[in-house]
Amino acid sequence: MTPLAYILAAQAADPEVIDRIPSGFSAFVLPFTIGVAFMFSWIGVGLIRLLAAIPKSDRIKFAKSLFIPKTALKNIKDLFCDCLFHTKIWQRKPLLGYMHSAIAFGWFMIIILGHIEVALFVPARLNVARGGLFYPIFYRYFVWMNPGHTTLRGAFFFFLMDFFLLYILSGIALAIFKRFRSIVLGMRHTTKPSLADRVALYSLWLIFPLRLLAESFTADLSGGSFLTVPVNHFWHFLFGDKLWFMPCWWAYSICLGLFFAAMPFSRYMHILTEVLWILLRNAGVEPHHPRKGVAEAEIYACSSCGLCLDACPMNVQKKNLKYSSVYFIRFLRRHNEKKINAIADKCLMCDKCHALCPVGVNAPSLRRAQRATVNNALPYDYSYLSTVGATATSASTLGRATASLRSAPPLASQSEAPVPPLTVPRVAWVAPAKVLPEATNKVLYFAGCMTHLTPRIIKSVEKVFKTAGVDYVFADRDGGICCGRPLMLAGKTEAAAAVIEANKKMIEESGCDTLVLSCPICYKIFKEEYHLEGIKVVHYTQFINDLIISGKLPVQETDRKLVYHDPCELGRGCGVYYEPRAALKRCGTLVKASKEYDESICCGGSLGSLTLDTKDRSKISEASLDSLLANDPQTIVTACPLCLKTFSEAVSNSKNRDINVTVKDFAEVVCP
């Protein structure tokens, strides 16, 4: 190998590349330069406004996160995987992943390699004052190859540039094809582009073919490789010796300029804002407002790709396409209040769009924030919650509800609480809290509102507890209060806080160390918002699975074919996928649904939606049921009272008379 010093010396004498235009400028670069300057100033101003809008504590948190090694590593990994390689799309839809990464990674490499070439061969031109902004982009226009002085190094870069150009062109070809037949790439519905989207889209389609055209026209002067040189020969064959290449470079520059000028108003803004959003997301900074501060980075990070269209359970009906997250975010960008609210209220909050989003845009949480701007101010009066928490003291009232717990003496300290005359104390709800015998190592079972409407769940859960010999206390045997999650979902955040406080008091006073919940809606909020110190919050699927593993609960294996439905709040909401399946595998043959784990389809009964009516809900239930019945199971098992009820109704109302399937709760199957 030739020593580096020798190469440099040789170059000084006989340069490989000749900077053919001394001024380093040609008028054709103007459209590109103006477009890109406009885009960068737009982004600069936006960035400053955004950082000014987030609270100071969040700003400090964000700045710190950039220097914490663990977060920094995750940042680097996410930036490469999400922005350049699009691994999340690859995993689900390989062809689509190829398309996206071809354009993103290919373009990135072309820009980087262009700069490396300039740095190696004409380093002076990297200076912004001497054309550093556009020179690396139009490098091939500004240079001549010195014939007879080409080196392997130069040829290597020519090859790489042509290779990545071809790579991008293949991606663009797929993208154009996708516009007409998206289903081939795995997308049933695609987003309807807005005007700015169209301008940017068509210029993006043209940029790379035009680049090929421009570079191939000059390939005999400025060099090329396996792609540009043969095309160049073809042009010579077609047009003769003298090629008139200026129009191609003008067209290329105009397309680039148009693209960058349209970028801030189009979906392609995500190319840059995605970076900011990933950094903010990894720093753990959360939006407090649906439109301002962090949320702004989030909504501009949406690439409008439309993967959420196919994900959304509402879209079994075409009329509901307009309520998808992608359009929600589009209208948020446009400040279209009326449409924003209509879309925000319709959503089932099943979180599937968030789970499948390649950029991790949390549209459901933005919707909740949007609902809060409207609904948080609605009047309510929960003063009764504070009184019910303290009333159940008079020993005589304890009797009925706590018959099973009678051995325990009521705590004396509570006796001074006055009994308000107008409220009927619901002793049962508060009583267990006061009468826990040893106050340690206790399991507290909280059924929640929904479970009380499906008493078969309570019955079977209690049966499990008795069979396994679990010493438990039933917190709301005679009815309790809501967990607060439905209020949260409806945007009544302050009201939810009042309910949470009342429940928290009850649980903390109970002295339990494990809280078992049979409703995923309760489970999610108990886990995330209650901050119960020293109390383990588990869903009953997890608790029962532990009982089975430790051998306390014997299970009988049957040959029934079971299918498990992942409730939204349990699966995507809390990440509990494994435990229920592990337990069910011991009870029968677990077959697959056509969509499961984080792709599971909401049952349609979700409390998340405010305005979706019964008819639309039943359509969703049908779709979800179809997915579950894909492998002819005999029993549908679910772990949510709402899903249980919805599916029971869906099965009995189903038009398909042939289906012979029972719907059962998890606990019923484990302990029949």
Partner 1 sequence: MVDFGFTLVPSSRINLDLFDKEKYEELVSMEPDVRICMACGSCTAVCTAGKFVHTSLREAMEDIFNAKTDNALESLRACQLCGKCAMVCPRGINTRHLIMSITKVYSKK
Tell me the window of 45-53, 72-80, 372-380, 557-565 that interacts with partner 1 (CB under 8 A): 372-380
Between strands 662-665 and 589-591, the pairing is unpaired
Tell me the window of 40-48, 64-72, 270-278, 479-487 that interacts with partner 1 (CB under 8 A): 479-487
Site for partner 1 contains 417 (CB under 8 A): no
Shortest Cβ 617–partner 1 spacing (Å): 8
Centroid of chain to Cα 307: 11
Site for partner 1 contains 380 (CB under 8 A): yes
When binding is defined by CB under 8 A, the residue of 266, 304, 375, 518 that contacts partner 1 is: 375
Q: CB count, 10 Å around CB of 413?
A: 10
Site for partner 1 contains 47 (CB under 8 A): no
Shortest Cβ 271–partner 1 spacing (Å): 39
Shortest Cβ 379–partner 1 spacing (Å): 5
Site for partner 1 contains 390 (CB under 8 A): no
Shortest Cβ 450–partner 1 spacing (Å): 7
Site for partner 1 contains 419 (CB under 8 A): no
Residues 635, 561 contacting (CB under 8 angstroms): yes
Is 439 or 607 the residue whose CB approaches partner 1 more closely? 607
Tell me the window of 79-87, 253-261, 444-452, 657-665 that interacts with partner 1 (CB under 8 A): 444-452
Shortest Cβ 499–partner 1 spacing (Å): 6
Give me the amino acid identity at 631: N
- Contacts (Cβ under 8 Å, ≥6 apart) of 277: 297, 298, 300, 301, 359, 360, 361
Site for partner 1 contains 372 (CB under 8 A): no
When binding is defined by CB under 8 A, the residue of 350, 447, 487, 661 that contacts partner 1 is: 487
3-state secondary structure of 413: helix
- Contacts (Cβ under 8 Å, ≥6 apart) of 155: 225
Residue matched to tokens 């062809």: 95
State the number of binding residues for partner 1 (CB under 8 A): 38
Residue-level length of the chain? 672
Tell me the window of 69-77, 204-212, 295-303, 448-456 that interacts with partner 1 (CB under 8 A): 448-456
Alpha-carbon gap, residue 664 to 558, rounded angstroms: 15
Alpha-carbon gap, residue 641 to 457, rounded angstroms: 7
When binding is defined by CB under 8 A, the residue of 499, 515, 525, 568 that contacts partner 1 is: 499
Of 352, 345, 315, 353, the C-alpha closest to 619 is 315
Of 359, 346, 365, 264, the C-alpha closest to 305 is 359
Shortest Cβ 486–partner 1 spacing (Å): 5
Shortest Cβ 612–partner 1 spacing (Å): 7
Q: CB count, 10 Å around CB of 568?
A: 31
Q: What is the secondary structure of 560-593 as a DSSP string?
A: -EEEEE--TTTHHHH---HHHHHHHHTTSEEEPP
Tell me the window of 267-275, 537-545, 606-614, 657-665 that interacts with partner 1 (CB under 8 A): 606-614
Is 74 or 645 the residue whose CB approaches partner 1 more closely? 645
Is 258 or 521 the residue whose CB approaches partner 1 more closely? 521
Alpha-carbon gap, residue 298 to 291, rounded angstroms: 9
Site for partner 1 contains 611 (CB under 8 A): yes
Site for partner 1 contains 481 (CB under 8 A): yes
- Contacts (Cβ under 8 Å, ≥6 apart) of 127: none
Site for partner 1 contains 490 (CB under 8 A): yes
Site for partner 1 contains 123 (CB under 8 A): no
When binding is defined by CB under 8 A, the residue of 25, 144, 163, 384 that contacts partner 1 is: 384
Phi, psi of 589 (to 5 degrees): -90, 120
Q: How far lies 6's CA from each of 10, 53, 158, in Å?
A: 6, 55, 22
Site for partner 1 contains 614 (CB under 8 A): yes
What are the residues binding partner 1 (CB under 8 A)? Answer: 345, 375, 378-382, 384-385, 388, 422-424, 426, 449-450, 452-453, 479-482, 484, 486-487, 490, 492, 495, 499, 605, 607, 610-614, 642, 645
